Structure 1
Amino acid sequence: YRHRNYSKVIEFVLFKQRLQHSNQYQAARVEASVLQLKQNADSFEEEERILENLKSGVQLVELSNEIGSRTLKFNEDMQTRPWWTPCPEKNYLLGPFEEISYCPPKENVKEEREENMKRAIQRKSLLPRMIYLSIQCTPTALKESVETNGSGGDIDVCEELKCLLEDYTKMLGCSLSDAVEMITEISQGARTSESLGSNLVDWLNFAVFWNAWSLSSQEHWHVLNSLFERLILDRVRSMGSSDMSYCYSDVQVLVQIITEPLAWHSLIIQACTRSSLPSGKKKKKNQHSDQLSSSPISQAIKDSIQLLCSTIQDVSNWLLNQLNNPEDGQVEGFLTTLKRDGNAAGPGQILGVLESFIASSEESEVGNRIFQALKSWNTADTARKTVMAQQRVLREFLQICESKRKLLETLKQQMSHV
């Protein structure tokens, strides 16, 4: 620029265009909005402010539609990364078995992964709008529950939510009716949660908004409550008294469930409690309160709050048991796990390779600075740092659980006065 050479301007413009079509850029845009909603889900007023800034989620819905018809850029060079790179959808590390190869061609894997990533962004893009519409549906549902001849309320809101639910389930690979059948069977125990695959949290999100679409249906509430209880407690029971190193993936899923679908459901319950006592004369308020307290939806809300409180308490108890374990014992258990896996594929084998390399390294080969760094590396110290990091994650998760439980306890008290 100093020499009035603007040849880079074209390059900058082209880079901006490529950035606008980048998968990572679009994912970051959507995740940033969803993260705001997750972090403030305990405050109804704050959520309203965030949704207002997001234009009630309309812009992200438009983005979802654009992504569906757009070719995104993926910053992955398949020449420098093995084609069998593990991904959440399938295990491509499996080799041929009984003359059947589980390893598809490289190009097919790339196209499939890119399509899955696009659908994931599209699903996330619909969340803010569905949250907004679910909140708007609550006054209508409460009115219908206390008025025998109540009007249909805001039909447009419910219809739009239904359309988004259909789009959401389509991105999950099925129709709305098939999705309802799926979650109903899982809630009844007719199917296992493995049927949901790696999209378990997305399916729970669907169940939450499906229930919000028809809050006056006791059956919907029952299905959703059973889903939360089954999917959360099954993981807590499977983890049992296991060390964190054995069940870290289950903890990750629990964090997602409690900070996303359960948070959205709690937000909808907050909207219900706020709408339960309309403004007006005291006489009318008392009459409305009496009608609502005897309505099916009131009992459904109370049952849901009670179940969520109990379920979150079970998660908190497991976390407390983990945090109360002596650190030295956890480090020893972690090292034992690594040593036991040392002769097989896994972290133990990797640790063995590292130790062998460090033991055989010569200063003349790697240089003084790297040599000193290698010699200062210690297996036990690394294991302790890993355990400390895991403990920090568990403490943060416990704080989230306690925050959710306190919110639900507050809602329980509010509903007791309805």
Structure 2
Amino acid sequence: MRCQSCQVVGNQKELWEEDLESFPLLCCCFQLYWRTGNLGYLLETVVMLELGLNIKRFVSQYKILLLHLYSHLGALPVAYEWYRTLDVKNILLESVSHQILPQMLVSPLWEDLNDLLKDYLKFMDDYLRESADLTFLAYRHRNYSKVIEFVQFKERLQHSNQYLVARVESAILRLKEKANNIEEEEGVFECLKSGTQILELSSDTSCNSLTFNEDMQLRPWWTPTPKKNYLLGPFEELEHPWETLDYRKEWETHVREIVEKRSFLPRMIYLSVQCASASTKENMEANGSVTDSSLSLEMKSLLERYVKGLGCSLNDAVKVVLDVAEGRKSLEELGSDMIEWANFAVFYNAWTLSSHESMLLMGEESKSVWQIVCSLLQKCVTHKVRITGPMVCSPGGDLPVVVQLVAEPVSWHCLVLQSYIRSSLPCGKKKKKSGGPADSSTFVLSQTIRDSVSSLYSIVEVVVQCLKEEVNKTDETVDLLLSSLEMGSNEGPGQVFRALKELVSTADEGELGDEIFQGIKSWSPKVITSKMLKGQHKMVSDFLQICEAKLKLLEALKQQL
């Protein structure tokens, strides 16, 4: 395929000062990638934009385009670096952070995500705290229009969807970070008032009254909202995406649904840990009952509210999980809500430990709920790992879904196991090694619990093996990618790249001036490609560390059984 607009002519100074937003080559490369799926066209776009920023270092449009390109290519650390160069602060944190926050929330870059959320929350909390003083000052000076403006502005920020999302996700991130140590997790629960703090916040800020203050017009045409990305779907003839397709209302509805479900998580995680702890033999003997009925009733109520967001009743949700886990229905039945369904399965299992109710109509040979949860997690993880593929060849792939599966449902299930095992053992002691019968101070865990720990270990191990293969790839990939552009034919990607290389090699300092000339000469496609691959490598290595820490925890749990 050959595009007539892919013709670079002349090397005049005007060419290098051209606004890339209106440069036909840029749009042409995106369209060709969307039409053909050939990664070379995206690489051409990346090196072209990097060259543009070497010449015009402070053009925010270039940076935003690169930010989304690197995100799409799985090099989120590089995208985050470009976001930081935008110098987003104060109210821009509210209107611009949507460019990077959704991608960060499903990434393994927890340290950077923590910084991003802290900066945003600090600005919002400081402003909301100081807004009363600003309003009073305006009133004192009889500037009543300013008083009205300050009050309205405060209300918009107070009900901001991003503010609620950031508060909820900040709490969930802390729970993820400490999930491998139940004692440290209990410290997080204490700070979150056992998870009730986030539930109260969500109820105080009604999801129906949320405001959306993001400036979507700054986003590239191919991703008009954080939920929509044309490049992930089949090619369509679109002349004016913003005018012909309005995805904003769809996105706002999606945000309301997601933030409502996510706000349940901290409390449900806490209740799951408590249910597991209270259900062990020692606690039953000490307390005289399985658990406080109010605990079980609250957990059931939250489960019902949680699955209502998935469009079904509690009975129906249990049936879906059981059918998928036992192979009667495919994973496609879970749709795009796979993480939510896996979370539900984990929480439902914890609830059954403390409840006499049984909603699984199982025969004598059916699996236990523990086995069903592990079976579902194993199916979800192995399926997503299998279709993720090599990152460099799979832009927009399923790695974020695998990250979420390990960081959330797998982690919450590990917490339930930690709580159950800890409560089953005498304080400060390990299970006896002798094969004799257990006495009153020792609880021999069932084979089901042992199998659950082993099953989780094998699930995470599959992910680790896949990640290690990615990490061990050599720098030969850089030369391979560039050679595909340098040696390309006239009917595929590489035309723009070769034309730019020729122009750079013949650039004249006297004609261009020192600033433009130095920017052009510092352009290195090999360095750019290497930077992209290093960004992908960091994504994989950070996720690998998370998974290896999980394996270490599960190995320790094995030793206690």
- Paired-residue identity, %: 41
Counterpart of 1:272, as a letter, is Y
The higher radius of gyration belongs to 2
Q: How many residues align?
A: 396
In structure 2, the residue matched to 1:383 is 529
Structure 2: which amino acid aligns with 1:19? L
- Tell me the CA shift for residue 250 of structure 1: 2.4
User: Which string of whole-angstrom CA distances, capped at 9 and with x for unpartnered residues, describes residues 50-102 of structure 1?
Assistant: 111111111211233344453211124566665973654786965779xxxxx
Distance 1:342 1:162, change over 3 A: farther
- What is the CA deviation profile of residues 299-331 of structure 1, one whole-angstrom value per residue up to 9, with x for unaligned ones? 22211100111221222122222222222x222
Question: Would you say 1:194 and 2:336 are equivalent positions?
Answer: no
Q: In structure 2, what is the Cα distance between the partners aligned to 1:341 and 1:46?
A: 55
Question: With structure 1 as the length reference, what TM-score do the two structures score?
Answer: 0.80
Contact 1:68/1:122 (<8 A) preserved:
no
- The whole-number CA distance in structure 1 between the counterparts of 2:335 and 2:486 is 31
How do 1:2-401 and structure 2 match up within 5 A?
Answer: 7=143, 11-68=149-206, 70-77=208-215, 82=221, 85=224, 88=227, 106=245, 109-143=247-281, 151-215=289-353, 219-239=368-388, 242-246=390-394, 249-277=397-425, 287-288=439-440, 292-293=443-444, 298-327=446-475, 329-335=476-482, 369-370=515-516, 372-401=518-547
In structure 1, how many angstroms separate the alpha carbons of the residues matched to 2:495 and 2:141?
A: 55
The 1-side partners of 2:322 and 2:486 are apart by 43
Query: Quick one: distance in 2 between partners of 1:28 and 1:133?
Result: 23
Q: What's the CA shift for 1:138?
A: 1.4
Counterpart-to-counterpart distance in 2, 1:308 and 1:180 = 21
- Retained in 2: the 8 A contact 1:40–1:47? yes
Identify the structure with the greater helix proportion: 1
Paired amino acid for 1:220? V
Higher relative contact order (CA closer than 8 Å, sequence separation 6+) = 2
Equivalent pair of 1:293/1:299 in contact (CA under 8 Å):
no
- One-letter code aligned to 2:439: Q
Deviations 1:265-320 (A, max 9, x none): 1111111011103569xxxx953466x426xxx32221110011122122212222
Unpaired runs of 5+ residues, structure 2, are 1-133, 359-366, 429-436
TM-score when normalising by structure 2: 0.61
Residue pair 2:284, 2:291 contacting (<8 A) in 1 also: no
Matching residue's letter, 1:223: I
Residues 186-245 of structure 1, C-alpha deviations (whole Å, 9 max, x = no match):
2122333233233221221111111111138862111111111111122333346x3544
How far did 1:170 drift? 1.2
CA RMSD of aligned residues (A): 4.0
Displacement, 1:376?
Answer: 2.5
What is the distance in 2 between the residues matched to 1:366 and 1:207?
64
Counterpart AA for 2:444: S
1:156 is displaced (CA, Å) by: 1.1
Say if 1:67 and 1:118, in contact at 8 Å, map to a contact too. no
In 2, Cα distance between equivalents of 1:106 and 1:129:
38
Mapped to 2, the partners of 1:79 and 1:324 lie a distance apart of 40
Give the partner amino acid of 1:287.
Answer: D
Q: Distance in 1 between matches of 2:182 and 2:542?
A: 22
Q: Distance in 1 between matches of 2:243 and 2:377?
A: 36
| CA–CA distance in structure 1, aligned partners of residues 294 and 474 of structure 2 | 57
Query: Are the counterparts in 2 of residues 358 and 375 from structure 1 also a CA contact under 8 Å?
Result: no
Q: CA deviation at 1:157?
A: 0.8
AA partner of residue 541 (structure 2): R
- The DSSP-based 3-state class of the residue aligned with 1:254 is helix
Q: Counterpart amino acid of 2:300? A: K
User: Aligned partners of 1:62 and 1:307: how far apart in 2?
Assistant: 36
The gaps in structure 1 that reach 5 residues or longer are: 98-102
What is the identity, as a one-letter code, of the residue corresponding to 2:540? L
Displacement of 1:143: 3.6
Q: Given the superposition, is the C-alpha separation of residues 228 and 18 from structure 1 closer, same or farther in structure 2, using an over 3 Å criterion?
A: same
Distance between the aligned counterparts of 2:452 and 2:290, measured in 1?
25
